[in-house]
Structure 1
């Protein structure tokens, strides 16, 4: 006995998988939207912070850090580099970065350096930033002594400026 599918059944065999794919796509978009914190204009950045380079192998670089502190109208950024002895050159660069939803973009860069010293620091209060974005600092620290250059980088977590 031969059975023929009706045109209605044939259409359902095509329409149903398409509806399933569209509903899964819509659900994935809704899930991405749920990852946003209240007031955020973008999704959360990846959770990462800390040292970019190993800290245990430095002969001259003694310590380094950067920080980010938020208030209702500004963000304070700072960085500090310390040498184990009075070095020929010590520097710190601190970039304030904003998460655009897919990558960190530099908003502001502050720097300071000194010679024949064992430390240097820099800081700045930044105003007129767009609320609803995540911000972090990325700092680069350098010590040069007796022709040897040592560098390290550090970044803070991303914080929502709301």
Structure 2
């Protein structure tokens, strides 16, 4: 049975997974948020093979998460900068950070989110932009959007009834 490629599915989670869910891409984006821009820095920080790093950087550029900008002519060298689309991925990484600290950091938190001015640890939460309420209560559910197919509407109506 041939399956539809994830990038073509109507589900935004599937489309996201198709673009950035391999571990190297997520870690490259993490490094970019840490301020890394150059190939050799990515390679050193991630201990990744050059050919793999090249493929992943090219993929992230193609997906519009990073932009390549030449900073040296001889020899030609490029840096990789987050685009607006790439910067919009930050809450996803922060959610992964919080989840990993809560469930996987047996030895304690090696990385945490902190307030820049106070230095105090911050716990990221997803909130409703309109009300400011955390999206953790039973008042929220996944609902079909305007472009939802009948199949998606049926699936989501079952989950709303549960």
TM-score between the two structures when normalised by the length of structure 2: 0.20
Pick the structure with greater CA Rg. Answer: 1
Give the number of the structure with larger relative contact order, counting CA–CA contacts within 8 Å between residues 6 or more apart: 1
